[in-house]
Structure 1
Amino acid sequence: MADVKYYDVIQKPVITEKSMEAMGDKKYTFLVHTDATKTQIKEAVEKMFAGTKVKSVNTMNLDGKKKRRGTAVGKTAKTKKAIVQLTAESADIEIFEGL
């Protein structure tokens, strides 16, 4: 496994209707490094966003999609998505405010 630092774990937030609706329950969705574990994701969220306390982390591995360009067939890169549940007394994540 690669040596993944906490600042490399979270790549970008996922902004969809379903993820925005889940933010009411303090659930935030991120694309994360494919080698990151649940404990590394929890540590990264708590270090990067001050005042947050993670209750649980759910992850899912997504395979790449098949794409065609003429006769050539290829696949896009695999991704990993994490849904982070914060505790009730935890502070909200500021990057999602005002969306």
Structure 2
Amino acid sequence: MNQERVFKVLLGPHMTEKAAMAAENNQYVFKVARDATKPEIKKAVEALFDKKVEQVQVLNMKGKTKRSVRGEGLRSGYRKAYVTLAPGETLEDFTGTE
């Protein structure tokens, strides 16, 4: 996988309280591209962070429906991936200790 595709697959970290709790169990959450597959996400994380990935779970988040004066609208949805690293591996950027 070339370096350009790595940055197109992984759009950024998804930091929420739930993601912080998952990080304690060696699971990290990323926003990913709509067309990204599990093997692509695995290769991208391994190439970018030099860590061994054990498992990838992907889910699609639907956009919320919002109402305004002009009627109803729909926010755009996104896709996120829960990446489980091998035992003993951690990502220091996600620990939350500053």
- Place the TM-score, normalised by the shorter chain, in its bin: 0.7 to 0.9
Amino acid at match of 1:75: L
Runs of 4+ in 1 over 4 A off after TM superposition: none
1:12 aligned partner: 12
Structure 1 length-normalised TM = 0.85
Q: 1:81 and 2:93 equivalent?
A: no
**What's the offset of the Cα at 1:72?**
2.5
Unaligned runs of 5+ in 2: none
Unaligned runs of 5+ in 1: none
In structure 2, C-alpha distance between the alignment counterparts of 1:89 and 1:25, rounded to whole Å: 11
**What's the offset of the Cα at 1:80?**
0.4
**What's the offset of the Cα at 1:9?**
1.0
In structure 1, C-alpha distance between the alignment counterparts of 2:61 and 2:35, rounded to whole Å: 13
User: 1:52-95 deviations in whole A, cap 9, x for unaligned?
Assistant: 100000010111111122132211112101000000133x2132
**What's the offset of the Cα at 1:22?**
1.4
2:65 aligned partner: 66
What is the root-mean-square deviation of aligned Cα atoms in Å? 1.6
**What's the offset of the Cα at 1:15?**
1.4
- Of the structure 1 ranges 80-89 and 7-16, higher mean CA displacement relative to structure 2 is found in 7-16
In structure 2, C-alpha distance between the alignment counterparts of 1:87 and 1:93, rounded to whole Å: 11
1:1-99 equivalent positions in 2, closer than 5 A: 5-50=5-50, 52-90=51-89, 92-97=90-95, 98=97
